[in-house]
Amino acid sequence: MVLPEFWDPIKAYWADPLVANGDALRGFLTLDATKWQFTHGMQDPSTISPDNFWHVQYLLDHPGNQEVQLEMFLDYGTNVGEYPKWQALFREYQPSTLLRWGKNDVIFPEDGAHPYKADLVDLEFHTLDTDHFALAEYGDEIAAEMKIFLGRVTE
């Protein structure tokens, strides 16, 4: 999977974890950025409770937590090299999978969801006209599908 342009400043931090490159990511940790993550690409952003982003931002603003987020941004770089191993495990073990993906997600775009189809036989695949936090907009629908899916695969 090729990570989209959104990831460019994070990839720069992976390549060279200087303080300046980490500081360049602090814009992702602001209230405006947090609101954007919860509302960008949604059908009707006004339906999203502000509690979602206020709660997250409160935690991000707690002393020391932004440094933890920067460490997590840096550590995520190790995940990318693991993708082929995870795909091989999917092919070998074939776990039953329910995949719901926001087709308007610019952090993990829809094109990153489709390769699962090549690796998994028992895959229920659905895209939704929403963004990164699909549960905020489609929580009831996703929960209902999860119950049906889990009922099927655990019988």
Residues 131, 101 share a domain = yes
Q: Per-residue pLDDT tens for 16-51?
A: 999 999 999 999 999 999 999 999 999 999 888 999
Residues 98, 148 share a domain = yes
Pick the last residue of a domain from 39, 57, 80: 80
Residue 144: pLDDT over 90 = yes
Residues 40 and 45: their CA atoms lie apart, in Å, by: 8
Residues 94, 65 share a domain = no
Query: What range does the domain containing 57 cover?
Result: 5-80
Give the model's confidence band at 70: pLDDT under 50 very low, under 70 low, under 90 confident, else very high: very high
What's the number of domains the chain is made of? 2
Q: Per-residue pLDDT tens for 89-127?
A: 999 999 999 999 999 999 999 999 999 999 999 999 999
Backbone angles phi and psi of 124, in degrees to 5: -100, 110
Pick the last residue of a domain from 80, 115, 140: 80
Q: Per-residue pLDDT tens for 1-14?
A: 679 999 999 999 99
- Please report the pLDDT score of residue 2 as a whole number: 79
Residues 18, 49 share a domain = yes
Closest to 150 in 3D by CA, of 112, 94, 96: 96
Q: What is the DSSP letter of 103?
A: T
Residues 93, 37 share a domain = no
Pick the last residue of a domain from 80, 109, 142: 80
Residues 55, 107 share a domain = no
